[in-house]
Amino acid sequence: MKGPGFKRALVTGGAGFIGSHVAERLVGLGVQVRVLDNLSVGVRENVPQGAELVVGDVRDAATVERALDGVDIVFHLAARVSIRASVDGFYDDAQTNVMGTLTVLQACAEQKVRRFVYASSMGVYADAPTPDPIPETHPTEPISPYGVGKLAGEKYLLCLAGVLGLEPIILRYFNTYGPRQGYTPYVGVITIFIKRLLAGEPPVIFGDGEQRRDFVYVGDVADATVLAAQKDVAGEVFNIGTGRATSVNEVAALLCGKLNPTIRPEYAPAHPGELRYSVPDISKARRLLGYDPKGRLEDKIDEVIAWHLGR
């Protein structure tokens, strides 16, 4: 990967799962990295050596302004990341994902930060009728509060960019998996299944398991994020995934086979707000960013399992 073209970066949520991998890539490129994280989900150990950690919340304007001092570019990954939890916790979801984003945008305008990379989500899309890959022009009619909040962040960023002097880049991440994904009962089906199987418990599939997702390795997502910051693509929106569909049943079968072939999944009613089909067309990211995801689930899953065993 070539030199970044910027010297000092702020990664909000940089002690978390994806954010820490982005911070690690930037440090490896010689960028001075500052991480802003409230450590509600992220952990200090995830922050790469050489990066500065500011412990604080993106909703606190004074803390955000302090974290932005001297920064050339912002990678805004701090968020409450849960479709399921956003249904009951819609107020807290909006406070962090909408108001937190606006707090960072306001501070960027005051600090004269120009480039802003925003981590959005597949949750902004309407459900697709088939598992065929969807482009960035697919209807954005989210069916969860989380998706509504992420789409609101996109709209605010694109609407205000010219007024605030920002160069926005929006990345819609699909189902990301890999090392450092902390366990919660709501996020990351691969991590949830691994945790249950390691405890001798069956994975629980909500619905019939034939819902299809794009599972993208965190290293590929981090690479795409840094690539986007290096390209002249201000104002563009990109799908970040692999373009390959995998059913939840297939994920469960893979993990049961790896960890405990005697266990069979259990089934429960589907959760509201979750897309049945969520597979991206990534041709735009390939063309404009040079994005080329290398990780395949069947090849990377042993690495993920090993990380959890090491915990």
Domain-wise residue ranges, the chain? 8-176+218-241+280-294
What fold is seen in the domain 8-176+218-241+280-294? Rossmann fold (3.40.50)
Contact status, residue 240 vs residue 291, Cβ threshold 8 Å: yes
pLDDT at residue number 2 = 55
> pLDDT value at position 151?
98
Q: What is the mean pLDDT of residues 10-22?
A: 98
pLDDT at residue 304 is higher than 80: yes
Asked whether the predicted pLDDT for residue 1 surpasses 60, the reply is no
Please compute the mean of the pLDDT values over residues 129-137 and round it to a whole number: 96
Q: Which of 118, 146, 177, 277 is catalytic?
A: 146
20-53 pLDDT tens trace: 999 999 999 999 999 999 999 999 999 999 999 9
Q: Cα dist. 48→19, 34, 134, 230, 273 in Å? A: 10, 10, 34, 21, 34
What digits encode the pLDDT tens for the residues 50-69?
A: 999 999 999 999 999 999 99
Digit-coded pLDDT (tens) for 153-207: 999 999 999 999 999 999 999 999 999 998 776 678 999 999 999 999 999 999 9
Question: What letter would DSSP give residue 68?
Answer: T
pLDDT digits (tens, 9 = 90+) for 184-193: 766 789 999 9
Residue 129 has pLDDT above 90, yes or no: yes
The predicted-structure confidence for 246-296, as pLDDT tens digits, reads as follows 999 999 999 999 999 999 999 999 888 788 999 999 999 999 999 999 999
Closest CA to 100 of 186, 182, 12, 33: 12
pLDDT score of 185: 65
Amino acid at 267: Y
The average pLDDT across 285-311 equals: 95
| Per-position b or e across 14-40, b if 16+ CB within 10 A of its CB | bbbbbbbbbbbbbbebebbbbbbbbee
| Stretch 218-222: mean pLDDT | 98
Measured distance CA(201)–CA(199) in Å, rounded = 5
Determine which helix (DSSP H) or strand (DSSP E) holds 54, and give its type and residue range.
Answer: strand 52-55
The closest of 11, 5, 4, 24 to 218, measured between CA atoms, is 24
Mean pLDDT computed over 3-8: 81
- Asked if 217 contacts 178 with a C-beta cutoff of 8 angstroms, the reply is yes
What is residue 83's predicted lDDT score, i.e. its pLDDT?
78
Whether 3 has a pLDDT exceeding 60, the answer reads no
φ/ψ of 246, rounded to 5, equals -135, 135
pLDDT value of position 272: 80
Residue type, 257: G
User: Residue 217 catalytic?
Assistant: no
Does residue 217 surpass a pLDDT of 90?
Answer: yes
Please count the CA atoms within 13 angstroms of the CA of 208 that sit on its side-chain side. 5
Contacts of 29 (CB under 8 A, 6+ apart): 1, 3, 4, 226
Residue 157's closest CA among 95, 115, 112?
Answer: 115
For residue 282, the model assigns a pLDDT of 98
